[in-house]
Structure 1
Amino acid sequence: MTVPGRRSSTFIRLLRSGFTDPSAAARLLDADALASVRADPVLLDALGATADPDLALLGLVRLAEAQPPEELSRLLGTLVSAKPLRDRLLGVLGASEALGDHLARHPRDWHALVTYEAADLHPGLPEFERGLADAHDPVALRVSYRRCLLSIAARDVCGTIDIAQTAAELADLATATLRAALRIASAAAPEDAAQCRLAVIAMGKCGGNELNYVSDVDVIFVGEATGGTDEDKGLQAATRLASHLMRICSETTVEGTIWPVDANLRPEGRNGPLVRTLSSHLAYYQRWAKTWEFQALLKARAVAGDPDLGGQYIKAISPLVWQAAERENFVADVQKMRRRVVDNIPAAQIDRELKLGPGGLRDVEFAVQLLQLVHGRSDHTLHSGSTLDALHALAAGGYVGRADAAQLHDAYRFLRTMEHRIQLYRLRRTHLVPEDEQDLRRLGRSMGLRTEPVAELNKAWRRHASVVRRLHEKLFYRPLLDAVAQLTPGETRLSPRAAGQRLEALGYADPAAALRHLEALASGVTRKAAIQRTLLPVMLGWFADSADPDAGLLGFRKVSDALGKTPWYLRLLRDEGAAAENLARVLSAGRLAPDLLMRAPEAVALLGDPEGLQPRSHEALEQEVLAAVGRAETPEAAVAAARGVRRRELFRTTAADIIRSYGTEDSPAEEDHAALVDQVGAAVSDLTAATVAGALRAAVGSQWGDTLPTRFAVIGVGRFGGHELAYGSDADVLFVHEPREGVDEQEAAKAAQTVIAEMRRLLQLPTADPPLLIDADLRPEGRSGPLVRTLASYAAYYRRWSLTWESQALLRAEPVAGDADLGRRFIELVDPLRYPVEGLGEDAVREIRRLKARMESERMPRGADPTLHTKLGRGGLSDVEWTVQLIQMRHAWAEPGLRTTRTREALAAAHAAGLIPTEEAQILDEAWVLATRVRNAVMLVRGRAGDTFPSEARELAAVGRYLGYAEGTVGEMLDDYRRITRRARAVVDELFYAG
């Protein structure tokens, strides 16, 4: 019995030794099985040196209690006298609860830890095969496997072997296990074994000699009939053997499981036959295989079964692997696969995901494999299945900078060690960093972090993950600059040919031109070149992540040529983190925004200002335009000044649209696309109104000074009046005037006509800016009617002659420029027409339906696909807008919420009033927003307006990226558009034509 004073001193010593529950530890030390060693200070010190002293002590007591009496004294005597065994045994018990359980079940297996001293030859495949040789059934195989695993874990936790050696030994043990399983399966079915040759090809980490403690072992089976056996019977026999092998390894017995054998990397995956002939494999890979399948084959290694057949398979598929980089969309496919992996991580786990998350192990592996596949075509030194060996070869060949490779090497080793120690605890397949404090403490201590294990672990983990997150820059782009800028004399660099190959593999269509741009930007010893060399690696990555990297790089060179000598430009990109990424996104998203920026390069400054992308109010825009017009000496100079404001503000709007649609590293893509559509429509409409106001001021001032003989107002209609202008929309307007007191009516009319002609002339002066066309075809009598009328003339016309379509056109009438009072009175005049009391009669409703049907049949461009035309096509803008407008004309007299010029507001009001059910309203809204976004995307990408998707592949891909689709998924985008608009058309048929 322990005296109280001694218990107190023991408690303190246990705390100092790292025990977290000294009371429980003291009770365990008092166990009878440890009576002969409990007082030995060597034992307590050794326990305190383990990852989890409490767990190690518990495991030791269980092991001791399970020993026969004669074995117990031997165990404890050796434990105290032999430091290597003590370190190995207690190290394993303190790191692995699962191996502690194994030793408690099989108490003699501790002898396996006596064999391996630090100076001993490390076991390889032959030693592991001998260790499994006596296993003749699945249960015995599991026991033998765990015994071998015990020896690997002991050397691992004691530091006798490093992470690469541990992973290689685990792969060798897996190879030996597959061979033993095949031996057991063949012994159980000797007839099957006699009828076939079966080769087992290891894939993934097992194939790459870098296996985890607990991982699926990926395999592919190749079979052939033997002798005179029929091929089908031979394959059936091979399939039975392969299936039995998988069950032996994967099934759970009283001794647990080994690991799942996964054959899903075979041709056609789960849908394909488990075993194929070599010729069948080759036929599939030559005709049907996807890029990721060749990436997976990079690690293929024959490990079990018939060695000749396995060797033939590896020899046959190797040339196909190293030609994969020449496939169309190779890099896009690799990147898409990586993105899919990240997208499938549950949000609650992504910050703890050590393998698959950003900055995780898979980032390193994918990047190394991509560079291997690109450069391994001509460099056989890169043909390694091991990630670390391949990284070393990439550095030796100059494909990766040595310092960068060393950093990545250290980060990868640290992350793999974390992964191993997490899995070792319970021998469960997991890549999640634990959240429990005790688990984190054990993990940190197992990696040699003892002062503040949890804090030190988190700090080191985040630091290494940060290195890996920069891998895109480090591995893909920095060597390109080393190649073209000739930075460090004597340093190994990529040749221009190799640099061009890398640019081509990364999606640049014209690598030679890209290299010229890089050389122009980064060569030399000037401060400008030095800053560019800092910026370009990251910029290149952002460009490559777009649909048109070449355009992004070319645009960057042009902007840099225009502003490179301006001191603030490069400083802005270097010091304001968001500015550089925003610029890269804008330059590579299409033609419109870069074209605007080339004509106003100083607008780059907007990209670095947190408020720079916020739209300005209509009042502020109009005030600036009118002030600029007032300072001009000629009408032409005045409209040029107004265009300058328009150019800058259009760039502000397009840049904000692109950045919020695509997202950046710090700011993910805008989820509320409807709000973004509304913001763009309002911003472009306000800017158009300000520009029209400027042109009106210039036209009046050129002849009359400040006062026109007649009051004059411009009324926006259509999308202009609805605050829904797209980038390429014309400005639909009506003109109204009212003679001033004492002015002859004919003189007033002539003045109004002259002002309109001058406005149109000024706005149509040649320019490289997007055109601003004023369209007055919605006026009374259309093109046959006078261009401008007095307010009284409008009243007389509408009273006597107005047609239904003219009332419908007035639904979106709103003053945009000129005399505000006259504009207000015009609206008062037309309100009764557009919101008729008691609604529309049936004749008027039939007329609207007839006009809509006629428009559908007559105005659709010849050859256009009606399922993809955003304006006139099925479920497109026209369908939704006419449906909403019909509801407005029928019910706005009784529902004030419907009295709005904005389509989405009117749709929401119709729903709120119970005129449209919830689901139907949502369907129409979704279709309208999507069609509007497509139109905006087409203008952004092509630099000119269009109502349907582009036919050119790169432009279509750019539209897809704007809409949020990953590269290579344009088919999905078109299918989604057709599906959404098809549903909308069904609602239109019900509400507009039948309602």
Structure 2
Amino acid sequence: MDWQANIHKLPPLLQGRIQNDLARFQEALGQGGLETVFKEKTIGTLCPVWAASEFVASACICDPSLLLGLQESGDLFRPYEPNDYAKTLERQLDELDSEAALMVALRRFRRREMVRIIWRDLAGWASLEEVLGELSQLAEACLDSALAFLHRWQSEELGTPHGAVSGQPQSLVVLGMGKLGAWELNLSSDIDLIFAYPESGETRGARRVLSNEEYFTRLARRLIRVLEERTAEGFVFRVDMRLRPDGDSGPLVANFDAMENYYQNQGRDWERYAMIKARTVAGDRQAGARLMAMLRPFTYRRYLDFGAIESLRSMKAMIAQELRRQGIKANIKLGPGGIREIEFIGQSFQLIRGGREPVLQERGILQVLALLAEKGHLPFYVKEELCAAYLFLRRVEHRLQAYRDEQTHTLPTSAERRACLAFAMGYGDWETFASKLDDHRRRVQGHFEQLFAAPHMDTAGQMTREKGLAEVWSGSGPTESVLATLKAAGYHSPEEVAQILAYLRQSYTVRALSAQARARLDQLMPLLLGAVGRTEQPEQCLQRVVTLLETVAQRTAYLALLAEHPMALSQLVKLCAASPLIARQLTRYPLLLDELLDPRSLYRVPDYESLVKDLGRSLGAVPGDDLEQQMELLRHFCQRQTLRVAAADVTGVLPLMKVGDHLTHLAEVILKKALELSWQHLTHRHGRPQRSSGEQAGEYGFAVIGYGKLGGYELGYGSDLDLVFLHAAQSSDPPTEGEKTLDPIVFYSRLGQRLIHMLQTLTPSGKLYEVDTRLRPSGASGLLVSSLEAYSDYQRTQAWTWEHQALVRARFVAGDERLGAAFAAMRREILGRQRDLATLREEVRGMRTKMRNQLDWSRPGWFDLKQGKGGIADIEFMVQYGVLAWAHAYPQLLEYPDNIRILEGFAQAGLMAPAESLQLADAYRAYRAAANRLTLQEQKALVEDEQFRQERTAVQGVWSALLEDEAA
């Protein structure tokens, strides 16, 4: 066959080698007596593939049947299915009876498949994703097949290992790390492995008893030898075991308990980085899944771990130092703008956020980058540039390694090799290729440095912090200098600040810090002192922040977060200065610190629909039967959203009425989700309630009624939830439909108990809400859950006037919509009754007097905003009186349960002068705004007596006219 036309299409520097290779190939074909009928696709790609890969050319020349077999089977022209390698190996190895034969078979199989993969890659028939995936599948199939044979043979010889506790037979678990774990294996990569077995024990079935550790150590050594020993047939894969616990000095295999103990107590940051890509690639996959679940908390922390950035920065610096030492500059993997920098960018976000955002617990870097852009952690254009660079660099990597099946990442220096690489990449000359490569690497390096550059660096590479504040924190300067520096930084009482800092330095928390943690604290404190000094009351603010630091300092990731992100530090200081309540919440629940990173989201309070979607996404990543994790996520969601409301409140972004609306909407969303989870838990165990009538029970047959501040859209920070539970079951209804049946009334009682448990059980993340159910029929002595029929009867025949007053601010908030509508109709009926006004006035006055006598904190010089004369409670009682007195004639007063809109309704109906209605509404808003501010300052709702004098006089005037004037 005349190949000259194809040879002339190659770069001149490569034509002579290919001419020679073809001659040798023709000679080998002749010696083997093989037919030389090539398909058109083979003819069209042979010369360019051989030009780019001496390995492929040599393999085909040494064994021409290899190429002919690939062509005739069609394997050369098609992508494999995921299980093709395993199936093929199973057929080829079926009759093997020795380790030597296994080694030969695996090496021949590997050579054939590597020729096929490289050919398809260089011919442009396979995408990068296909190449990476098939290389990983090839390695996995070789590992799994070899291990299966070796384990069977060794068990026949030495017995079968069994667990000491479980008594069950044991198998080796092989974890694939790095690119193998991520299905990203390159053409000539080592495979990074870790060997483990479930539990300690010993072998059974042979005269000599071995410990499981000894058995599996022998097995692991045999597996490594079978894979990497070089023979006349070559090797299968080089094996790297340095990622195992304690590296080369550690045991070759370890049981699961030892693995968990090591990573929990000794695991280092670079090992967390390595574990991101780990997965079970051979052996007992079910046991491997258990092991990965055990190790996941080591890799992915529950909090946002910004210490990972510093660790990765240090790792990259070590790599750069080693490259400089070796004089290697043109390394496309480890050098500037190389593959490793792209991986570091993606994996830094995984280490920081993966515990909180399980969706980021991906192994493949391209998927990770896409998720980061989707979730707003990376700008879209950055993701696009990084992905394009990654694809380009991995193709370069493969062409470097395809040339001689060598593990190299270094760009060539010889003219021929450069011409070969440029040609293999589709470029006419080295200069054009090198320019494109440089463009990609420059972009990657820019993005990498933007993320990983140490913060607050000046041109000399030193922290740009005031030397004086560093000396203040270290305590190394003279007292006079320290006080002067603090005064200059904005502190009013430098002596007090010096005492606060001395206390922190000498505290057990700081003295117990590791060297790394102390270095981070030393980096943070001068920055913190500078920021706090610019607040209005810096001493007060500093004390709050120092209290927080004492709590979080042992978790150095929080120190790193504040030191690495000036914006987060700025927001922390701003919020702690504004509110001790916010400072205390951040101290109690440091997970909230990550909310400080982006002021745009911190002060943007989501609407109702956004809350529903956000909570749904958070819980969607948790298994449905993991109640503990669901409860933790609910609490964190509540704390996170409450922090946003408080932050927007103290900075004036939200007006008062919106604060109450948002906190009420948040409670409703959480109530609905908590009821849904409680329902799922009970119905899973007991089945759904049934109806004797055969009708469906509705969505739940259960309704949650919100009273008080919840019912009136007026929740404040830390407000209790006043709840009443109703059900629609009848005594004649059959039991639930599950295996463990329950009487429906008992079912609904347990549903109410479960819901309260979800809301107010104290977990590591605190409580959701305190729940008060005393407004149910007969109060604390009554049933926790009432039927709608019994509740309605109670309201009609037994309820006191104060209970009807409470009904004014009651509404359906969660559960069965039909039951909620029935409650609303009953409420309209009860509140719409015509009442004797004299009796009503007397009862309302009497209840208000009793309440004031018990709860009013007013004293000389101070006024209780809530219970004082002319305060919030007086306005609420007037609203309730007006509804009970006038709703029979003006049913529109029953449309809303909140005080402001009811007051507006009074004016619109002509029942109250517009000026009076406006006076009450304005006073109510002013009182609540003041009470709200005092709550954020963790103070009682007391103001100086002169404050709100005009409002109090107006409220008392309306009270007298409405409730004390008998003609009213």
Shorter-chain TM-score: what band? 0.3 to 0.5
